[in-house]
Amino acid sequence: MSADNLIDGRAIAQKVHAETESRVDALKSAGVKPGLMFVRVGEDSASKVYVGMKERTAAKLGIRSETTVLPEDTPEADLLELLGKLNADASVHGILVQAPLPRHIDETNVFSTVSPAKDIDGFHPVNVGKLMLGKGGGFVPCTPGAVHELLIRSGVAAEGAEVVILGRGNIVGKPMAAILCQKKQHANATVTLCHSRSRDVAEHCRRADIVVAAMGVPEFVKADMVKPGATVIDVGVNRVDDPAAEKGYRLVGDVDFAAVQPIAGKITPNPGGVGPMTIAMLMRNTVRATEQQTDAGIR
């Protein structure tokens, strides 16, 4: 099968990393070393893997990172107290609290406690508000930011395009819609946000120039839902049982890749599409946070 229409997230992420590394070098020349703090509560296996990947990438780029792991039963007040200390620590420029959190902890309270200046995940109400208002200076959530960057660097024009986003979550769907409908370059799209109560989702998808699948349903987007030549971005990560696999399961996206690729104009593989770029955007946000807090480096 031809790979001519693949949007290679790994290759594009490497280009972003190279740009980020040059900014890290500029900061170090000014006597500043970017500091990134991860906070993980509990022993969720996926969270451990994700944080580990982020730590390794930070190390390669010259970003100092540390991880604080709290017990599963940590009271919310203790977590908020830790975040207050990190907010006050001048050597920490970026803070990421790894989701999901235990059920007894209110994620909204946690994300609201992280300083907006150090909120490299873009979840603080101040940063969410700046995104919705189209104001600069805030931090955009890393996954929708990654999707936007993939579209830009792959030459996919959002201007005037019909975009259908599948999923209305706070992490991807809603901020993705906000990014693409802005009155600015690389946006100005007509956006439809589909969700579990939407009628005839397939019909919405068939008219789209760009489909962003982020609803968490394995291989939901089928070939008959995609307009020939449309760009398809697969954000989903789903575990499905597979007795033939070494671990008894395999990971698939929200798009039936094998069926959709021959129809799509451009498409992200999964893995190797949005995932690597999400980490690249996190590192870029960390460096920008450092520049803003220290008035050093290149902007």
Catalytic residues: 54, 98, 121
Helices assigned H by DSSP within the chain:
9-29, 45-61, 76-88, 107-113, 125-133, 142-153, 173-180, 201-206, 257-260, 274-294
Pairs from 80-83 (Cβ < 8 Å, separation ≥ 24): 80/109, 80/110, 80/113, 82/39, 83/39, 83/110, 83/113, 83/114
Question: In this structure, are strands 231-234 and 266-267 parallel, antiparallel, or unpaired?
Answer: parallel
d(CA 131, CA 115): 16
CB-CB contact of 89 with 115 (8 Å): no
Q: DSSP character for 157? A: -
Tokens of 255: 């798009």
Say if residue 9 is exposed, middle or buried (CB neighbours under 10 Å; 0-12, 13-18, 19+).
buried
In which residue are the tokens 């008959």 written?
224
Return the DSSP state at 92: -
**Secondary structure, 3-state, 171-219:** CCHHHHHHHHCCCCCCCCCEEEEECCCCCCHHHHHHCCCEEEECCCCCC
The region that residue 51 occupies, defined by phi over 0 for left and psi between -120 and 50 for alpha, beta otherwise, is alpha
